[in-house]
Structure 1
Amino acid sequence: MKAVGVWRFGGPEQLRVVELPDPEPGPGEVRIRVHAAAVNPTDTLLRAGAQQARLAAVPPPYRPGMDAAGVVDKLGPELDGRLQLGQRVVALVLPSGPHGGAYAEQVVVPAASVVPAPAGADFPAASTLLMNALTARVALDSLALRPGQILAVTGAAGAFGGYAIQLAKADGLRVIADAAPADEELVRTLGADEVVARGADVADRIRALVPGGVPGVADGALLNELALPAIADGGGLAVVRGWTPASGNAGASGTAGASGTRGISERGITVHPVLVSRAAAATAALDRLRAQAEQGILTLRVARILPAAEAEQAHRLLEAGGVRGRLVLDFATGLDSAPAQVPASATP
């Protein structure tokens, strides 16, 4: 099979089409003929080497990709009959696993990480669902807000932020979301009750609406300590890139008043690192997201579809910023004529 990966970590130019042996599913696994793979920020981090420690046991070439949509084409032993040959499915893929990431014509994944594709969604749209929606779900579950409480979402126009808004509204929460002027209508359409201007001082604008602070923030904009002043004493911050506050960190830029600048411990704020990999085998949660997409609770947003051979261009577009929805790589036809490197002849 052909796949897209890197021998050396670095810029988008390091992405190569490679020829690999067809993978075989083991016990509890299925093989999927990939038709579409969404391009996520975590893919660019892997390519650049930021996740090198997680890949210590994985031989190169290293394959990005956490979201795949396609058709089951082989079943491993010891399955429960939930999945069938020829079934249209979506999968949450872990690039640090033994079979690599989703940027491939075929991918083997644990059956627990695979659910039916949302009815009525084509493969590119379906591929945009699981990783970002599950990340948002884990973030909301970590914050554990009650119906009627207020959630603030930063990076609200992005894929994670959009799903966080929609899942929060489905949970009965009120939502304050940030947006650039060009994205305000989009964010309101996704369900935000109030929209404030995005930026490093967004906490000030959230406090202007809720003087006592909000009980929870889902931080898709990676503001980290800059988001803390928006949070009420005893509240929580869900972070998606593993940020950990330094001991004694005041947690603020000093612009949100005394209630925002006192220490995290003193204010009783809990920082929740969101690791979607820990929920990758949560089949019931994945299937609920599939159902919510079918019901229109979650909106599948495709920004652009590119041939898989143009993964380099997709990474450049994503890193340039401003992408709304997800870029998607077409593996149904995108690698048919692309020249491939053979791993055995290459030097990592």
Structure 2
Amino acid sequence: MKAVVLNRFGGPEELRLDQVDRPEPGPGQVRLRVRAVGVNPFDAKVREGAMESVFTTPLPTILGIEVAGEVDAVGPDVTGLSIGDEVLGWSDTGAYAEHALATTVARKPAGLSWEHAVTLPVAVETTDRALRLLGVKAGETLLVNGAAGGVGTMAVQLGVLAGLRVVGTAGPANQEHVAALGATPTTYGDGLVERVRAVAPDGVDAVFDVAGKGVLPAAIELRGGTDRIVTIADAPAAAELGVVFTGGPQERSAERLAELAELAAKGELLTTVAATFPLTEVAEAHRLVAGGHGRGKVVLTA
């Protein structure tokens, strides 16, 4: 099968389309004919080698955590899924490929496209994990740094659904988008502390840093300390400043994913696709993700 293989760490040009063996499902796994793959900033950091201090990635490797596709083989001990089922979930083997193995998947609602389905797995799990770590409660104010991207869009909406008042940072072009999600928007950059205090004069109860961009000192100033700040984007600064960093899917729930996929199919949860690329243009997809100013998810189609 065709797959995008990373043989050495470096720039987007290190991602090469190659022929590899098609994987066979083991116990509890299904094999998917991949239709769409989510491209995440995490993928770019792994490709660069920037995550080696947190965990090691044996090379060569195939990137890609979130996947949507059709079941085309079923391993032992799998129940409730059959060949031909359309699903979305988390890949066990790397999803930048024509086929991928997966253990945790949910059925894709008929009204949800492949591209929009694949925006959900990482954003849902990451947001739920961050909100648990932050211990937020209805009525509190949450600052989401990077509110227009794939995870940020989900964080704003799930925060609002949980009864939080959300303040979201984004670039100037995405202020109306963030407001439409239900957040109070403001911009990145110098003067952030003053801008946030202007729109949230009673302070912020928690900070979820999705985008990095050196925001943690401002978050600490807003919180008056390092308590109730979580970042998924700046591990080095988190370690230096004593802020919680959380990375990588930890509590994958097919049930939760299915619940939110149904809301997305009904139009009650907004999913946003920034751009789609074929596997042959994976380097361009990574360049776009690395820019950090997109609205929604960058998607590969296979």
TM-score above 0.5, yes or no: yes
Instruction: Indicate which of 136, 146, 166 corresponds to 2:157.
Output: 166
Deviation at 1:289, TM superposition (A): 2.7
What CA distance in whole angstroms lies between the structure 1 residues aligned with 2:258 and 2:133?
19
Q: Report the counterpart of residue 279 of structure 1 in structure 2.
A: 251
Output the aligned Cα RMSD: 2.1
SS at match of 1:299: coil
Question: CA 1:161 to 1:148, structure 2 compared with 1: closer, same or farther past 3 Å?
Answer: same
Cα distance, 1:243–1:9 mapped onto 2, change above 3 Å: closer
Equivalent residue runs for 1:38-117 within 5 Å: 38-52=38-52, 54-56=55-57, 58=58, 60-79=59-78, 81-93=79-91, 99=93, 101-110=94-103, 113-117=104-108
**Alignment partner of 1:178 is 2:205:** no
Q: Quote how far apart the aligned CAs of 1:238 are.
A: 1.6
**What's the counterpart of residue 217 of structure 2?**
225
> Using the alignment, how far apart are the partners of 1:156 and 1:70 within structure 2?
28
Identity %: 37
CA contact (8 A) 1:200 1:226 kept: no
Q: CA deviation at 1:23?
A: 0.5
Q: Is the 8 A contact 2:211 2:292 kept in 1?
A: no
SS in 1 for 2:250: helix
Partner of 1:300: 271
Q: Distance in 1 between matches of 2:138 and 2:7?
A: 48
Q: Does structure 2 conserve the Cα–Cα contact (< 8 Å) formed by 1:311 and 1:329?
A: yes
Q: Equivalent residue of 1:277, what SS? A: coil
Whole-angstrom CA distance in 1 between matches of 2:280 and 2:204: 45
1:244 CA drift (Å): 6.0
CA deviations over 1:290-318 (Å, ceiling 9, x no partner): 23323434211112221111101111222
C-alpha deviations, 1:243-291, integer Å up to 9, x for none? 56467x5xxxxxxxxxxxxxx7xxxxxx4433342123x3333233323
Give the alignment partner of residue 319 of structure 1, picking from 287, 290, 297: 290
Normalising by structure 2, report the TM-score.
Answer: 0.91
CA distance in 1, matches of 2:222, 2:110: 39
Asked if 1:131 is matched to 2:155, the reply is no
1:205 aligns with 2:176: no
Larger radius of gyration: 1
- Where do 5+ consecutive residues of structure 2 fail to align? none
- The yes-or-no answer on 1:12 pairing with 2:37 is no
SS at match of 2:119: coil
Judging changes above 3 Å, is the alpha-carbon distance between structure 1 residues 13 and 147 closer, same or farther for their aligned structure 2 residues? same
Q: Report how many residues are paired.
A: 298
Identify the residue that residue 195 of structure 1 maps to in structure 2. 185
Give yes or no for contact 1:128–1:301 (8 Å, CA) kept in 2: yes
Contact 1:142 1:238 in 2 (8 A): yes
Q: What one-letter code is carried by the residue in structure 1 that aligns with 2:40?
A: N
In structure 1, distance between residues paired with 2:259 and 2:222: 31
Structure 1 residue runs of 4 or more that deviate by more than 4 Å after TM superposition: 232-235, 243-247
Does the 8 Å CA contact 1:202/1:227 hold for their aligned counterparts? Answer: no
CA distance in 1, matches of 2:91, 2:117: 14
8 Å Cα contact 2:30/2:101 also seen in 1: yes
- Structure 1 alignment gaps of length 5 or more: 250-263, 265-270, 332-348
